């Protein structure tokens, strides 16, 4: 298995960037329609923004790891192509906004100079592989999951089995049973385990948030580490073949598993074993096991002006590492937004005084790793200068929020605006929560839950609410979600909907009631369960009254204008309008890809490209007959039924296509399967040509 470094040096990256530029030109000239173009650019991290004519660029940073050189590179790109603002996402990515579409290829090329990719940061692909930010330094971890997260990222990057799925696919790695990478809300979640000295993982499957949140099920209590990539490949193959492709709201893995059941899903995984590119993949960990390299420099002398503040900062923001004498420093980044001038200074700090590594976190923060104890006062002073020493890293005061209507097409209300207001309530009225890491507050601007509100102790979701003929911005208040550990979690209850401007009152009422009525040693979740959902509905009921709204209630947070519900077309699913000609053109490209892969002895890749070409070809003809093409399995079944007497093959169409499941990825089979795909493509083209001629 090649490393990510060797892939960066591979000409395929340059080809990717050139292709993006070519497709942009075709789009501008009218040769490529917008819907067809959308799929390609999304798979290259280019996402349509709420504002007309500009793009959001999502930078894919596996498990949130960033070096000084990479942070400098990202800052340079943001200044050159955007506005100097960096946004940390809940998937440990960085986003930059307001980028001109025609400059995205050169932007991407600049990032690749420091091993930074945009590839598959959006679209119907494997999204950024996330992991506990404390992986590698956590005293309670059985081993460092970082190399395993990296290996999964590298293996499936550009892998043909997961380029054009029905929807996105999310993978996480948790370092300990605390499950800080939230395995229970992922398509595949891995939790580090050790069994009689063997490294392995508990595997969770088919979790997800969104409008219909679903907790993941346990797929395996333990599998050895060298089996996680083959397992992931099998799951992706099943999802690609059986997953919904037309009804966007039903196109996630959680719906497939719910529909057929876990046992049937496991059977489908087992059927894929013969066809897998590898039965085991040994993951190299040496690059992560080497000694931590910290520069030997003189400890700078600093003056701590307020010892009490410094001690409190150490309590709330500094983490003991498992490496003796080393500490990690958490930086709370409100809304996940910071700017390039500060990013550069931070990059210089970690390069000169730490081990040249930080991790972006799932809560939109930054964790500096490998800081010597003697340097903690110096870091405190320097971070304070940057505004990076605010108390409450990963605490109740540390609210998670998506961008909402600031930039997102799907945003209904300003999640950032209400986050700022709730932050003021917490800072001014509940400062003692700066060291409370047992209550989380999360906010999303719509039901899609990018802010992860559905698994928060206290969550808010952007909505709208009617008052007579008028519409006001609103918040759904959710309570009772949370992480339970070892793959278990809770989905919050939707308690009540209130006007958005009353969000601060709602938070104040909830926390005041908690402090007044909580029992000794009782957690927030225990308190919520004891009181019950109806109790909190009644507690907040007066705030839901829309008969007494004031003029200000019809203006969203951070705005001066009257609220209007404006929801654009979301692009997370990479929706594409499939026309027959477009599909057949894509088939030709897939056969070309299969041929190139075969020449490079990449047999499994060649086979999958050939398989995809057959599916596309069959789909193209079914569309002409108005038949359903919701799943690849359905395409095979329907094609066999409709065209069995019109297009003759050596076997039934299902047997013809499903050779992929019954053969090992050998050179001989790859060659034959490619020949079959090319033959099928020719037969369909001939049939279509004859049909068109007859009709004319």
pLDDT in tens, 652-694: 999 999 999 999 999 999 999 999 999 999 999 888 888 755 5
The Cα 239–Cα 217 span in angstroms is 16
Query: Containing domain of residue 671, as a range?
Result: 580-695
479-498: pLDDT as tens digits: 999 999 999 999 999 999 99
- pLDDT at position 524 is 97
Structure tokens at 370: 């490998």
Within this chain, do residues 543 and 447 fall inside the same structural domain, yes or no?
yes
Q: What is the pLDDT of residue 470?
A: 87
Based on the fold, state whether residues 138 and 280 are members of the same structural domain: yes
Structurally, how many domains does the chain consist of? 4
φ, ψ dihedrals at 172, nearest 5°: -135, 155
Check pLDDT > 90 for residue 569: no
Domain annotation covers residue 71: no
* 228 and 259 co-located in one domain: yes
In a domain, 10, yes or no: no
pLDDT tens track for 68-88: 999 999 999 999 999 999 999
Boundary of a domain, candidates 237, 253, 286:
286
Q: Are residues 380 and 436 in the same domain?
A: no
Answer yes or no: is pLDDT of 577 > 60. no
For tokens 């926390």, the residue is: 511
Query: Could you tell me if residue 443 is inside a domain?
Result: yes
Q: With respect to residue 42, please indicate whether it lies within any of the assigned structural domains.
A: no
Least confident of 219-233, 563-577, 593-607: 563-577
Q: Which residue has the higher pLDDT, 582 or 643?
A: 643
Work out the burial of residue 286: count CB atoms within 10 Å of its CB; fewer than 13 is exposed, 13-18 middle, 19 or more buried. Answer: exposed
- Asked if residue 237 and residue 308 are part of one domain, the reply reads no
Is the pLDDT score of 298 beyond 70?
yes
- Give the separation between CA 72 and CA 32, rounded to whole angstroms: 35
Tokens of 381: 């002073």
Do 306 and 279 lie in a common domain?
no
- Is there a single domain that holds both residue 132 and residue 279? yes
User: What pLDDT, in 10s, does the model give residues 299-355?
Assistant: 999 999 999 999 999 999 999 999 999 999 999 999 999 999 999 999 999 999 999
* Max CA distance (Å), the chain: 89
| Domain contains 28 | no
Confirm if 281 and 226 have CB atoms less than 8 A apart. Answer: yes
Using the Cα atoms of residue 553, residue 558, residue 562 and residue 565 in order, give the sign of their dihedral. Answer: negative
496 falls within a domain = yes
SS3 173: strand
Q: What is the mean pLDDT of the chain?
A: 92
In a domain? residue 560 = no
Contact predicate 86/341, CB 8 Å: no
Both 641 and 538 in one domain: the answer is: no
pLDDT at 273 over 80: yes
Confidence of residue 5 (pLDDT cuts 50, 70, 90): very low
Contact partners, residue 454, CB within 8 Å, separation at least 6? 209, 210, 213, 461, 478, 481, 491, 492
Q: What's the pLDDT band for 248 if we cut at 50, 70, 90?
A: confident
Angle at 399 between CA 394 and CA 404, to 5 degrees: 140
**520 in the same domain as 404:** yes
pLDDT at 589: 87
Instruction: Using the 3D structure, point to which of 286, 312, 328 is the last residue of a domain.
Output: 286
CATH number at residue 135: 3.30.413.10
């Amino acid at each position: 298995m090649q490393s990510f470094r060797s892939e960066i040096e591979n000409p395929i990256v340059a080809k990717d960037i050139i292709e993006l530029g070519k497709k942009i030109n075709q789009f501008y000239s009218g040769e490529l329609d917008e819907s067809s173009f959308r799929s390609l650019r999304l798979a290259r991290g280019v996402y349509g923004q709420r504002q007309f004519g500009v793009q959001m660029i999502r930078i894919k940073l596996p498990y949130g790891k960033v070096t000084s050189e990479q942070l400098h590179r990202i800052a340079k790109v943001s200044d050159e192509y955007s506005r100097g603002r960096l946004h940390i996402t809940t998937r440990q990515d960085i986003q930059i906004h307001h980028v001109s579409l025609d400059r995205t290829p050169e932007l991407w090329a600049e990032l690749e100079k420091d091993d930074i990719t945009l590839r598959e940061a959006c679209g119907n692909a494997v999204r950024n592989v996330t992991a506990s930010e404390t992986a590698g330094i956590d005293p309670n971890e059985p081993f460092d999951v970082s190399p395993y997260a990296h290996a999964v990222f590298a293996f499936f990057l550009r892998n043909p089995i997961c380029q054009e799925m029905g929807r996105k696919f999310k993978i996480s790695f948790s370092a300990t049973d605390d499950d800080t990478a939230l395995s229970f809300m992922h398509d595949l979640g891995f939790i580090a385990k050790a069994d009689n000295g063997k490294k392995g993982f508990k595997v969770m499957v088919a979790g997800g948030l969104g409008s219909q949140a679903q907790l993941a099920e346990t797929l395996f209590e333990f599998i050895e580490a060298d089996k996680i990539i083959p397992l992931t490949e099998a799951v992706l193959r099943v999802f690609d073949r059986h997953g919904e492709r037309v009804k966007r709201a039903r196109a996630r893995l959680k719906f497939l598993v719910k529909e057929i059941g876990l046992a049937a899903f496991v059977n489908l995984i087992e059927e894929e074993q013969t066809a897998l590119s590898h039965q085991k993949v040994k993951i190299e960990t040496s690059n992560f096991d080497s000694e931590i390299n910290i520069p030997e420099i003189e400890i700078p002398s600093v003056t701590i002006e307020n010892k009490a503040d410094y001690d409190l900062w150490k309590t709330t923001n500094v983490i003991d590492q498992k490496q003796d004498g080393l500490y990690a420093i958490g930086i709370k980044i409100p809304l996940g937004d910071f700017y390039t001038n500060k990013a550069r200074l931070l990059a210089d700090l970690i390069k000169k005084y730490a081990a040249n590594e930080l991790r972006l976190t799932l809560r939109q923060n930054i964790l500096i790793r490998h800081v010597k104890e003697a340097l903690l006062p110096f870091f405190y002073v320097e971070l304070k200068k940057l505004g990076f020493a605010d108390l409450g890293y990963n605490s109740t005061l540390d609210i998670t929020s998506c961008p909402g209507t600031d930039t997102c097409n799907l945003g209904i209300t300003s999640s950032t605006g209400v986050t700022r207001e709730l932050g003021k309530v917490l800072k001014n009225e509940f400062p003692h929560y700066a060291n409370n890491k047992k209550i989380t507050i999360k906010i999303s601007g719509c039901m899609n839950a990018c802010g992860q509100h559905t698994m928060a102790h206290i969550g808010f979701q952007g909505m709208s609410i009617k008052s007579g003929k008028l519409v006001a911005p609103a918040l759904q208040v959710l309570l009772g979600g949370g992480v339970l550990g070892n793959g278990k979690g809770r989905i919050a209850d939707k308690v009540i909907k209130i006007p958005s401007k009353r969000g601060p009152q709602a938070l104040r009422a909830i926390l005041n009631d908690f402090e007044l009525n909580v029992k000794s040693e009782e957690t927030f979740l225990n308190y919520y369960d004891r009181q019950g959902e109806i109790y909190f509905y009644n507690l907040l009921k007066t705030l839901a009254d829309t008969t007494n709204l004031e003029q200000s209630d019809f203006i969203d947070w951070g705005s001066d204008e009257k609220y209007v519900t404006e929801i654009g077309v979301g692009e997370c699913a990479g929706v594409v309008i499939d026309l027959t000609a477009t599909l057949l053109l894509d088939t030709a490209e897939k056969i070309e890809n299969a041929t190139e892969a075969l020449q490079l002895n990449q047999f499994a890749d060649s086979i999958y490209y050939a398989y995809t070409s057959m599916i596309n070809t069959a789909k193209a003809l079914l569309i002409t007959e108005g038949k359903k093409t919701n799943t690849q399995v359905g395409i095979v079944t329907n094609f066999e039924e409709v065209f069995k007497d019109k297009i003759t093959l050596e076997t039934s169409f299902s047997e013809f296509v499903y050779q992929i499941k019954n053969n090992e990825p050998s050179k001989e089979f790859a060659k034959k399967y490619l020949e079959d795909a090319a033959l099928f493509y020719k037969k369909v083209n001939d049939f279509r040509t004859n049909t068109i001629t007859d009709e004319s």
